Amino acid sequence: MFLLLLIMVKFSYTRHIMMSRSSGCYCRYRIQKERDLAINNYNELSNEFKNFKNLITISNCNPGFVIDYNASINNQHNNVICKKCKKNYYRTVYNNTCLHCPEGYISNSNNTLCFRSRLEEDIHTYCPKGTVVGNDPYAEYGYSCIKCNSKKREYMSTLNNEDYCDICPLGSIIRNNNCYKCPIGYYEENNKCLECPYGSYNDIEGSSKCKICNNYKSISYYSIGGTNCEDSIFYTLTDKINENLIDTKIFSYPIISVSQIAFANLYNNRINIVKYGTITSIPLIAYFATLY
């Protein structure tokens, strides 16, 4: 009997808790629904009020002016009072509110239109890096700047008030809205700095092509990324020795040539050596060695 009574009490308590929770959930749901309804009504009222102000502006205010709502409400004669658009804002007969002049433009004295200005004291907003001022005085503020076209080698590295993008010359590449010359030993192709191929070199920065090297005594004759076409140090030292001693070219030149090819091979494989510790053209050295 006592066990039955205990079960009934527990059931009654559990039912009470569940009803309380259900009641609480319903209460929160009702409050949330009423709040959402109030917000929607407020937004609708705000939109209607905004449309009303715009209608009054177009009907009663001259271009360059908009309704001054507070002054009009507090006016004892119930007249519509208009106020002038702020500096660098404008309003035409077709607008119902004051609009911000786009970057690079300022409003005229009547605030009825915008015009281009290059004076430092007139600049209210610069165009961001990679863009320049547009040519539409009625463009939307914040979206009027024109992006430089990297495919046409255009770039702009600073905040600016310019009409045209800078042009990156051939032999240079565009990176992060800036122009960089390709270093010596490289040439530019399709906005990439590439090493000069075998048998060529480049001894100046910012070049779009490499120079031919037909000097077999030069490292550039055998290697990529050559920076000059002069005799290598191997041949230079040998020639100086031969000036004072017997002519040993017949013995030394073959050895020097193989050494030079080996050195060029190491230079060509410098990236692989650093990454993997391997040389990919050992057979090439052996082949040249058999020629002497």
pLDDT at 98 over 90: yes
254: exposed, middle or buried (Cβ count in 10 Å: 0-12, 13-18, 19+): middle
CA torsion angle for 27, 33, 34, 36 (degrees, to 10)? Answer: 140
Average pLDDT (17-25) is 54
| 178 in Cβ contact with 130 (< 8 Å) | no
| 67 in Cβ contact with 57 (< 8 Å) | yes
Average pLDDT (190-197) is 96
pLDDT bin (cut points 50, 70, 90) of residue 265 is: low
Average pLDDT, the chain: 78
Which of helix, strand or coil describes residue 250?
Answer: helix
Phi, psi of 122, deg, nearest 5: -95, -10
Phi, psi of 12, deg, nearest 5: -65, -40
22-44 confidence digits (pLDDT tens): 555 667 767 777 777 777 776 76
How far apart are the C-alpha atoms of 148 and 171, rounded to whole Å?
Answer: 19
Q: Which amino acid is at 69?
A: Y
Of 37-46, 76-85, 187-196, minimum mean pLDDT range: 37-46
| 141 in Cβ contact with 103 (< 8 Å) | yes
Q: Which two tokens stand for residue 85?
A: 């658009």
Give the contacts of 145 (CB within 8 A, at least 6 positions apart). 103, 127, 128, 131, 132, 133, 134
CB burial string 35-55: b at 16+ within 10 A, e below: eeeeeeeeeeeeeeeeeebee
134-168 confidence digits (pLDDT tens): 999 999 999 999 999 999 999 999 999 999 999 99
Work out the number of other CB atoms within 10 angstroms of the CB of residue 65. 19
The label of the residue with tokens 């177009």 reads 58
Element of type H or E holding 194: strand 192-195
Domains in the chain with CATH codes:
183-230 (2.10.50.10), 233-292 (no CATH)
| 90 in Cβ contact with 113 (< 8 Å) | yes
Average pLDDT (203-213) is 96
Work out the number of other CB atoms within 10 angstroms of the CB of residue 66. 23
pLDDT at 107 over 80: yes
Top pLDDT among 181 and 264 is at: 181
Strand partners, 132: 146
Average pLDDT (102-117) is 95
What pLDDT shows up at residue 53? 64
